[in-house]
Amino acid sequence: SAVISQKPSRDICQRGTSLTIQCQVDSQVTMMFWYRQQPGQSLTLIATANQGSEATYESGFVIDKFPISRPNLTFSTLTVSNMSPEDSSIYLCSVPRLDRAVTQYFGPGTRLTVL
């Protein structure tokens, strides 16, 4: 099984600032996903990050707001830019589970509060 860590685990930020969230996996994976869970809502896919190529963003999410880096096969960052209170969410990264291709492993999440 893959072990995924995220930093920070939580943060409180002022509006207008940016926060970069790190996701580290203990094995090499081609694909990584970033999700957001707003309060009382479902997990929503933000983007898919493949190493060596630009991230692919879902409808409603743009690179200027959520730039993603994928410098190698075990690491990715998601930046939440120019934050507003509406960005207060749990942000999670995930990777496909190689032994059972139908599912994904998730990190513990980063709980972001924007004041």
Nearest approach in angstroms of CB 66 to other proteins is 14
**Residues 99, 101, 105: CA angle, nearest 5 degrees:** 80
Report the interface residues with other proteins, using CB under 8 A.
4, 9, 31, 33, 40-45, 48, 58, 92, 94, 96-97, 100-109, 111
Residue closer to other proteins by CB (options 14, 59) is 59
Residue closer to other proteins by CB (options 6, 82) is 6
Residue closer to other proteins by CB (options 16, 62) is 62
* Phi, psi (degrees; rounded to nearest 5) at 58: -80, 160
- The type of residue at 48 is T
* Phi, psi (degrees; rounded to nearest 5) at 47: -165, 160
